[in-house]
A and B are shown apart, each in its own frame.
Chain A
Amino acid sequence: MSSNLDEIQKQRELTNRDLMKTYARWYLSVEVSNSYERLQALAFCNALSGSLKKLYKDDDQGYREALIRHLQFYNSEGTFGAVIHGVVLSMEEEKAKSKDSSDSLSEEVITGFKTGLMGPIAGIGDTLIWGTLKPIILALASSLALSGLFIGGIVPFLFPLAVILIGYGMMKSGYLLGKDSVTKLMKSGLINNLINSASILGLFMMGALSSTYIKVSTPLEFSFKNAEPIVIQDILDQILVGILPLAAVFGIYFYFKLRGQYYNRLIMWLIVISLITGFFGILQGS
């Protein structure tokens, strides 16, 4: 596969160096200039500007149009989304080459591809990168740090490292494979397969982490004359170990499902409930 791609690259305008520069600019600026109005558009344009200049060598008009074109609304997940940058560059290359012929690639095709793919790709990236990879790395860092180990403070850096490697790989393959192969890949079952497996790993880990890190139990006991005190937590443990942490996760889950994701309102509620139940000794955080 890789030797195949090397062959393709020899016939193309942009070198690895150009692609790395483009990726570096994207990587640096993707969230810096994020605004409510266009989200990642400015970063997208900024990232591509150098490569576009090279593709539209002497064609000022084409270059200007391309810059303006890529300032339009754009938002996706930054890591997997880099495949879109790659494909767009390959399309711009085609457009720049065929500017005088009648079958030149139209602007609508490029913008259509971008806006059509940014949603589905964001879904993939959020699942794999932010829903699976990030919490696993941070959980590992947390458990090391909780044991007082120095390395725990360094482990979070594995995440940006992984993002850089995956993101650049996505952009390069997008550029070399082009629009048709990427669309085909999206439609093939392979991506779904990958998401499914990553989701399984993610859910499995969320279960393990919930059980490890959600610490809630009840100190309630009822004592009667001439009898052993009844410890509520012991009864709960006989029914199901971890029933309270489980109730916490799914209580929140169903709150979000039914009421919408009002994150801060829920945090407030949780704190109020914690203070009340903690104050009266109904629950304890261990």
Chain B
Amino acid sequence: MNLLVAALCGILYFIGTSRLGYGLSQATGSPIFYGLILGLVYGEVEKGLIIGATIQLIYIGIIFTGGNMPADQSLAGIIAIPIALQTGMNVEVAVGLAVPFGILGIFIDQLRRITNSYWVSKAEKYAQVMDTRKIFHCAITYPTITIFLLTFTPVFVITLFGANAVTSIMNILPQGIIDGFSVAGGILPALGFAIIIMVIGKREIMPYFFIGFFLVAYLKVDVMAAAAFGFCVAALTMFNSIKQKQKEVN
């Protein structure tokens, strides 16, 4: 892969995981966004978007409880998308390639948080002498430089040399394995949805999950229409319970 593209991937991954801006990483580090940018680079916007969205769906339900990253959608995307676009692999295999990197990314995040402990202890000293400029650097500047080194380097190296290795592996991959990856790509989104149910699924409101599910399964309602119905149902329950509360007060 050419140097410029590899450098671009390294920079995109750095921006996507720098965490500058709360929740901004969900956009700048989204595999869909990577798919768009890299699709433009390779002149295959549609394919880039489709691979990006397929990878995104696997990680759609991820929540960072207590700041712990359960999987790294950005690393999964930034490795798989350019290699897939360059070697012309199909979407299923790209997903199979993405998932191991989604796990590997966790270690990069853990390294970052371990090094950050050092900056907190530094900042404590600066607080004693009320040097808020230095506290600012400890909170933003130094960790950002560290994360640049931690993120740019591995992605640059893997995307630079990975495509050739992947092409030679792909040539010997039997169809059975590709079918297996296709099953994985189909099942893995269930993981994210299950996690969200863990967070918000109280027993007495679980039927709403099934209403949504069977609305699509039997009536083939599309996602936006489901969102419209869901919003109305949620609004109705909200108004009703407010009314009930007022009755209790009176």
Which of A's residues lie within 8 Å of B, judged by CB? 25-43, 45-46, 49-50, 53, 60, 63-64, 67-68, 71, 75, 78-79, 126-127, 129-132, 134-136, 138-143, 145-146, 148-150, 152-157, 159-160, 163, 167, 189, 193-194, 196-216, 241-242, 245-246, 248-253, 256-257, 261, 263-264, 266-267, 270-271, 273-281, 283-286
Best-surrounded residue of A198, A206, A214, A245 (most CB of chain B within 10 A): A206
- Determine the distance from Cα of A152 to Cα of B182 in the docked complex, in whole angstroms: 23
Cross-interface CB contact of B27 among A63, A157, A211, cutoff 8 Å: A157
Docked-complex contact A204 and B209, CB < 8 angstroms: yes
Cross-interface CB contact of B135 among A30, A46, A275, cutoff 8 Å: A46
Tally of contact residues, B, Cβ under 8 A: 116
Within 8 A of A (CB), among B202-217: 202, 205-206, 208-217
Docked-complex contact B99 and A271, CB < 8 angstroms: yes
Q: A208-B216, A211-B215, A284-B179 are in contact. List 17 more A-B contacts (CB 8 A).
A: A27-B21, A32-B18, A38-B120, A45-B127, A63-B130, A153-B52, A200-B230, A204-B233, A208-B212, A210-B189, A210-B209, A215-B185, A251-B190, A256-B194, A270-B184, A279-B177, A285-B187
Q: Which residue on chain A has the smallest CB distance to residue B59?
A: A138
Cross-interface CB contact of B187 among A40, A130, A209, A248, cutoff 8 Å: A248
Q: Quick check: is B3 within 8 A (CB to CB) of the other chain?
A: no
Docked-complex contact A34 and B67, CB < 8 angstroms: yes
Cross-interface CB contact of B23 among A141, A160, A189, A193, cutoff 8 Å: A160
Docked-complex contact B234 and A200, CB < 8 angstroms: yes
- Determine the distance from Cα of A194 to Cα of B239 in the docked complex, in whole angstroms: 10
Q: Quick check: is B165 within 8 A (CB to CB) of the other chain?
A: no
The verdict on A64 contacting B130 (CB below 8 Å), with A245-B190, A249-B193, A256-B194 known, is yes
Docked-complex contact A71 and B123, CB < 8 angstroms: yes
Docked-complex contact B226 and A275, CB < 8 angstroms: no
Docked-complex contact B64 and A130, CB < 8 angstroms: yes
Docked-complex contact B23 and A163, CB < 8 angstroms: yes
- Determine the distance from Cα of A43 to Cα of B116 in the docked complex, in whole angstroms: 11
- Determine the distance from Cα of A197 to Cα of B24 in the docked complex, in whole angstroms: 26
The verdict on A127 contacting B200 (CB below 8 Å), with A193-B241, A275-B177, A284-B183 known, is yes
Docked-complex contact B26 and A138, CB < 8 angstroms: yes
- Determine the distance from Cα of A202 to Cα of B193 in the docked complex, in whole angstroms: 10
Please name 9 pairs of A and B residues whose Cβ atoms are closer than 8 Å in the assembled complex, sorted by A: A32-B144, A41-B120, A67-B135, A136-B227, A198-B234, A208-B213, A214-B190, A252-B191, A271-B99
10 closest cross-chain pairs (CB), A and B: A207-B212, A153-B36, A285-B186, A278-B180, A275-B180, A35-B116, A208-B226, A204-B230, A274-B184, A207-B213
- Determine the distance from Cα of A148 to Cα of B190 in the docked complex, in whole angstroms: 23
Cross-interface CB contact of A31 among B19, B54, B224, B241, cutoff 8 Å: B19
Docked-complex contact B200 and A202, CB < 8 angstroms: yes
Docked-complex contact A34 and B212, CB < 8 angstroms: no
Q: Which residue on chain B has the smallest CB distance to residue A138?
A: B60
- B149 CB contacts on chain A under 8 angstroms: none
Cross-interface CB contact of B136 among A46, A201, A285, cutoff 8 Å: A46
The verdict on A148 contacting B132 (CB below 8 Å), with A253-B197, A267-B103 known, is no
Within 8 A of A (CB), among B53-67: 53-54, 56-57, 60-61, 63-67
Q: Quick check: is B245 within 8 A (CB to CB) of the other chain?
A: yes
The verdict on A274 contacting B27 (CB below 8 Å), with A32-B144, A203-B212 known, is no
The verdict on A193 contacting B238 (CB below 8 Å), with A63-B130, A71-B124, A203-B209 known, is yes
Cross-interface CB contact of B24 among A129, A160, A193, A246, cutoff 8 Å: A160
- B139 CB contacts on chain A under 8 angstroms: 29, 32-33, 42-43, 45-46
- Determine the distance from Cα of A50 to Cα of B185 in the docked complex, in whole angstroms: 48
- A160 CB contacts on chain B under 8 angstroms: 21-24, 26-27
Docked-complex contact A212 and B54, CB < 8 angstroms: no
- B237 CB contacts on chain A under 8 angstroms: 196-197, 200
The verdict on A46 contacting B216 (CB below 8 Å), with A28-B21, A245-B190 known, is no
Docked-complex contact A209 and B193, CB < 8 angstroms: yes
Docked-complex contact A264 and B22, CB < 8 angstroms: no
Cross-interface CB contact of A153 among B20, B33, B194, B241, cutoff 8 Å: B33
Q: Which residue on chain A has the smallest CB distance to residue B33?
A: A153
Docked-complex contact A215 and B186, CB < 8 angstroms: yes
Q: Which residue on chain A has the smallest CB distance to residue B133?
A: A49
- Determine the distance from Cα of A68 to Cα of B182 in the docked complex, in whole angstroms: 53
